[in-house]
Chains A and B, each alone.
Chain A
Amino acid sequence: MDKSWQIVVMYILTHLGLLFFLYPANIIESSSEAQWIPIVIGVILHFVIVLIYLKGLSYFKNKNIIDIYSSFGKLWTILLLIPTGLYLLMINIIMVRAYSEIINIIFLTKTPLWAVMLLILSISCYLSMQELSAIFKTGFLLSFLFLPLVLFVIAISFQNVDWRYVIPIWSSDFSFIKKQSYLNSYFAIGGGFLFLGFIQPVLSFRNTRILIGLAAIVPAYLLSVYVPVLTFGQATAETFIFPYVAAVDGINISWLMFDRITMFFLLCLITFIMLFIALVLWKTVRITKYYIPILSEKWAAIGLAFFIYCICLRIPNWSDAERLFQINTPLRFYVILFVPLSIFGLGLWKKRKEGVNG
């Protein structure tokens, strides 16, 4: 069944959740002026990869990437499916650990970390144990509840901007490409789109509609970086761990009954993140299930969640969590580059073979 809109909504929600926390600081740290250049490079790369991925997937009607790789033999599954599984597992660990620390830093200062992580993981785990369509329907529901609020906050976050901070518009300094913080920014860019290859045949989609979702999220990339830069200026924005959150903190609306809208904004985004964790967990379960077929999906999800929880408990502090982003970098680029490319290549190969045979 065509569920394009649900998929588009899911795509937007997960990226909103990813973009407004760590991404701005990564970009601002990597380049001190004309931040749109690194952002646009990232976005273009994202577009190209997703397009290749979608094109590749379209050669295999109603098949997910596990079916595709396994139909081409063991070597492919070892080369690509295992790294993907590892990568997803690592994303999950990083997300749970990093976002519970973010919750700790920003609002629940005194709550123990284990409780926050337990809450995030148990909800996500429960969600991932449901059918795939349940996850997507939840996403749809969340978008009705929270998306208006998130958009409202994004709109008013322009309250304190000084447009003159946009200048200088051009910079010929491209050294950011080699910087670790810039590579870390791909955390928000890669990984979010992989689910497109997992959901078929349960949910099918039309490529053109997915592209609308892709385009809809582009302003968010720019806003998340430029709102803090325009509010504080580069020199000050650099000093924040969560620049966008700091910019939202400074909003002053006397007619709004709530004093700190940051809280609402963050809680909305955290629900999006829980949704994302659920989705990634579900993908990891699919891959695990492929290798250990006797395992029931429910127990696989619980087992994985427990494993993730244990690992997260072993990560003592924020700088270690940040190191994980760094360790994850080679695997991240391997997966986000080679999975779409290999699917595309295999698709072409299959088409040619069919062409010869037919």
Chain B
Amino acid sequence: MKRYLLLILLLTSMFILSGCWDNKDINHRVMPVVLGVTQQDENYEVYLQIPQPAGGQIESIVVSGTGKTVNEIIDHISANMERSVDLLHVKVIVVDRELAEKGVKDLISGFIRSRDISSKALFAVIDQDLSTFFGAMSSEPKAEGTILLDFFEKSAGWDPQIALTRIWEVYRSIYSYTNDVAVPLMKLGKTTLVEHTGSAVIKNGVMMGDISANKTLLYNAFNGESTLGKIEVLDDASVMILGEKMKFKSKLEEDIPVFSLFLKLKVTILETINDPSENEIKKELEKLLTERYQSLFEQMKESESDILGIGQYFRREIPRDQLKEWRSVYFPELKVDFNIEIDIQNTGNLKIRKG
């Protein structure tokens, strides 16, 4: 008797042990890779780029919808499609400039709250109308569903002057006292599919302005992202960065923050114009970088957005309740010393004039 009871129990447990609860098989799901959001009046407009295997190749389709919230739109799209939309694999989220300037706080908080979208997804701003952008994406024959993703992939199309900012970092910038972020700014290119035009500066979830691609390189270098392989063009030469080292010092002098930056750069020479000497190249590069850093700092101070997280270096000097006012009170007063040292590791296959 007991044995039969056990048998029945074991057999019935078969139903629950499959571990499936209203699950949907993978062939009944669509997994968009890129999510685009824009706002029109009070409504969001959402674009989804979905890779689809077709005849041995991967094509991508773009679907869109409008509604009050992103989830409502996704729900709506899902209802209209023969399969259900699953945002689990969204890797890149783009918004247009207009929405970014209005603020993405609610949008980003929504992503973090629902956990449908991985907080590792990358964030970018499109300097263009999203319908044109996604229109080109779907009509482009080479545009596989992953083209925007590959653009950011370190093992594929990423370059040191492209900022890599994830959703959780944007979320952090909404509440943080000291950390703002720069996110890539893109539009459709003339000959390439996308063109990287620099970075958008986002403070407390609102886009404050933009910085050039060259300055994004400094931003990446500052954050410890490798700048290896980046080519710098000077008046009389072009060089490639082989290595960098950065050190910082911070102190507070009568309530004015003073920040010293020590950058050591190793470069190799690629081409020269009019036979410059080693020292001339060094000097020129030093000057170029110093000026660029200076102008980056000026720009940051003007918009009171601390994308380099300089405030983090003053946590020891400034108590937390005053750090709250870091961006508005201390940061505009910031004094910065630049100490840039260039080392020419090699001059390539040809000798160069000394002196």
Residues of A at under 8 Å CB distance from B? 32-33, 106-108, 110-111, 115, 119, 160, 162, 164-165, 167-168, 232-236, 238-239, 246, 249-252, 254, 259-260
> When chains A and B are docked, how far (Å) is the Cα of A32 from the Cα of B175?
14
Is A235 a contact of B119 with CB atoms below 8 Å? Answer: no
Q: Provide the B144-176 mask, 1 if CB < 8 A to any CB of A, else 0.
A: 000000000011000000000010100110111
Q: Provide the B225-254 mask, 1 if CB < 8 A to any CB of A, else 0.
A: 000000000000000000000000000000
Is B315 a contact of A167 with CB atoms below 8 Å? Answer: yes
> When chains A and B are docked, how far (Å) is the Cα of A159 from the Cα of B291?
33
In the complex, which residue of chain B has the Cβ closest to the Cβ of A119? B16
In the complex, which residue of chain B has the Cβ closest to the Cβ of A247? B168
Give the distance to chain A from B310, nearest Cβ to Cβ, in Å. 11
Give the distance to chain B from A116, nearest Cβ to Cβ, in Å. 9
Is A252 a contact of B21 with CB atoms below 8 Å? Answer: no
Give the distance to chain A from B14, nearest Cβ to Cβ, in Å. 15
> When chains A and B are docked, how far (Å) is the Cα of A119 from the Cα of B154?
42
Since A168-B319, A233-B179, A236-B172 are in contact, a sample of 11 more A-B pairs with Cβ atoms closer than 8 Å, ordered by chain A residue number, is A160-B168, A165-B312, A167-B316, A168-B316, A232-B172, A233-B175, A233-B176, A233-B177, A251-B120, A259-B118, A260-B118
Residues of B92-124 contacting chain A, CB below 8 A: 112, 115, 118-120
Nearest 10 interchain pairs by C-beta: A167-B315, A236-B175, A235-B175, A164-B312, A250-B168, A249-B119, A236-B172, A252-B120, A111-B21, A167-B316
Question: Given the known A-B contacts A165-B315, A168-B316, A246-B112, are A252 and B166 also in contact in the complex, defined by CB atoms under 8 Å?
Answer: yes
Is A235 a contact of B155 with CB atoms below 8 Å? Answer: no
Q: Which residues of B contact A110 (CB under 8 A)?
A: 21-22
Q: List 9 A-B contacts (CB under 8 A).
A: A115-B21, A119-B16, A160-B168, A162-B309, A164-B312, A246-B119, A249-B118, A254-B155, A259-B118
Residues of B at under 8 Å CB distance from A? 16, 21-22, 89, 112, 115, 118-120, 154-155, 166, 168, 171-172, 174-179, 309, 312-313, 315-316, 319-320
> When chains A and B are docked, how far (Å) is the Cα of A162 from the Cα of B171?
16
Question: Given the known A-B contacts A32-B320, A165-B312, are A108 and B168 also in contact in the complex, defined by CB atoms under 8 Å?
Answer: no
Is B178 a contact of A233 with CB atoms below 8 Å? Answer: yes
Give the distance to chain B from A339, nearest Cβ to Cβ, in Å. 38
Question: Given the known A-B contacts A111-B21, A252-B120, are A164 and B175 also in contact in the complex, defined by CB atoms under 8 Å?
Answer: no
Question: Given the known A-B contacts A168-B315, A254-B155, are A233 and B168 also in contact in the complex, defined by CB atoms under 8 Å?
Answer: no
Q: Which residues of A contact B176 (CB under 8 A)?
A: 232-233, 235-236
Q: Which residues of A contact B309 (CB under 8 A)?
A: 162
In the complex, which residue of chain A has the Cβ closest to the Cβ of B176? A233
Is A108 a contact of B174 with CB atoms below 8 Å? Answer: no
> When chains A and B are docked, how far (Å) is the Cα of A115 from the Cα of B172?
35
Q: Which residues of B contact A107 (CB under 8 A)?
A: 115
> When chains A and B are docked, how far (Å) is the Cα of A78 from the Cα of B115?
47
> When chains A and B are docked, how far (Å) is the Cα of A135 from the Cα of B166?
43
Is B172 a contact of A106 with CB atoms below 8 Å? Answer: no
Is B120 a contact of A249 with CB atoms below 8 Å? Answer: yes
Give the distance to chain B from A103, nearest Cβ to Cβ, in Å. 12
